[in-house]
Structure 1
């Protein structure tokens, strides 16, 4: 009798406790599922990438506008481009005069009328438009403009030619003739108006300087300016030392994503 009563009480206790345990287990499973679902649906936020810092000087360089003269020259049976970075801040009158000549078409069709090996290449004389005037190339009586002598000569400098001190004591520049310094011309600092610097094509100019020439230092083969223009370029300008001649650079061009603003500009003008 005692055993039966005890078994009966245990059965009653189990009947009472089991539903409670099952309810607790169900609630625990529901909580776990909800937590897992919530964790999957709302991942922890990622930290934003840190943007590169640009200094005020770098930002100013990216926004700066440069005036470039793009010249196409026919030489040795091919065309080559020479790009000059103009300096209107340091030689405003000389640059303005040069741009005016470009806009008027003064330089198109003119020859390079004077070369000295690894030293100087000169052009811009209106008389050189015709081979019939060859003996008078470089001797044209030109209008003059005031000299500006703030910029020293370096390899690649571009400057206006002028008549000698004896007949030109004020050292006024010729109105159209200009030259490229392809060697050390520092002895002329403060005497001739430098107004620009070659950033592309210095190697071509050096080859032109070594041309076979006559007794007046004029190249035997006609070397001619076939086109010239002045354009605005936004962003840094890098002076390039080419190993090839002009358009041949395309074969070693970088992917667009790796090019800087000036390299992309060159792709547009070549």
Structure 2
């Protein structure tokens, strides 16, 4: 399968990655939950996209309506907050799986520096995973959350195919510029809210993944651990040479 990876200034470079099940061209569905460069999600774009959000909860203190968790890894702790108001099913799924110990011992199986780190597959291959609902579950999109640097989002293999795999956005401000944002708008047929564009230019992220993947959390501490994981030596299929292990996920509140 061909993955497209973001590089500096919004350009794309190609990397080869194989799955255990099948290979497919762009736009085809495989058994591997993945994070592609270009997602076809126009039908899912909210109709009120032009409305500028007054503030982004991703950059606010943890509120009473949010949930804080600590992801303990063999490289350190990552502190995150979850957004049940905006992504109730994704948050319910993540919390329930965490409390069941589902993520304990699972590795980050796909790591691409200046793009994202991906985990949540008990097989460690990128082709496994399951939700608490007995099947995949639907996407939850909102203009109040975006794939800014540090966003926690659901990996998928197409619309409404969320299971247990997730990723944390590692792309920083060097990966986003105005030309890149304009290209995404032209390709996808919408305009980002001005505040969203300003925030992407300030902190970075993966704007091409908006309305293609469900953002349900954000890193609020331990960015140095995310950076360290993103920088490990990789082998075939962007898999770390030495396992990066999720030891447990602790629900703080």
TM-score bracket for this pair, using the shorter chain length: 0.5 to 0.7
Determine the structure 1 residue equivalent to 2:167: 179
Q: Structure 1 unaligned runs (5+)? A: 1-60, 129-136, 233-270
Distance 1:213 1:120 in 2: 13
Range moving further from structure 2, 63-72 or 87-96: 63-72
TM-superposed CA distance for 1:100, in Å, is 0.9
Does residue 206 of structure 1 match 2:227?
A: yes
Distance change in 2, residues 1:92/1:205 (3 Å): same
Determine the structure 2 residue equivalent to 1:229: 250
- Normalising by the residue count of structure 2, what TM-score does the alignment of the two structures yield? 0.58
| Root mean square deviation of aligned Cα | 1.8
Matches within 5 A, 1:235-250: none
Distance 2:102 2:117 in 1: 18
Counterpart secondary structure, 1:126 = coil
- Normalising by the residue count of structure 1, what TM-score does the alignment of the two structures yield? 0.54
Q: Structure 2 unaligned runs (5+)? A: 1-60, 172-204
Distance change in 2, residues 1:219/1:62 (3 Å): closer
TM-superposed CA distance for 1:64, in Å, is 3.0
Does residue 197 of structure 1 match 2:218?
A: yes
Q: Which has the larger radius of gyration?
A: 1
TM-superposed CA distance for 1:220, in Å, is 0.3
Higher relative contact order (CA closer than 8 Å, sequence separation 6+): 2
Equivalent of 1:161, from 155, 160, 164? 155
TM-superposed CA distance for 1:65, in Å, is 5.2
Q: Which has the higher helix share?
A: 1
Distance change in 2, residues 1:159/1:62 (3 Å): closer
Counterpart secondary structure, 2:91 = helix
TM-superposed CA distance for 1:90, in Å, is 0.6
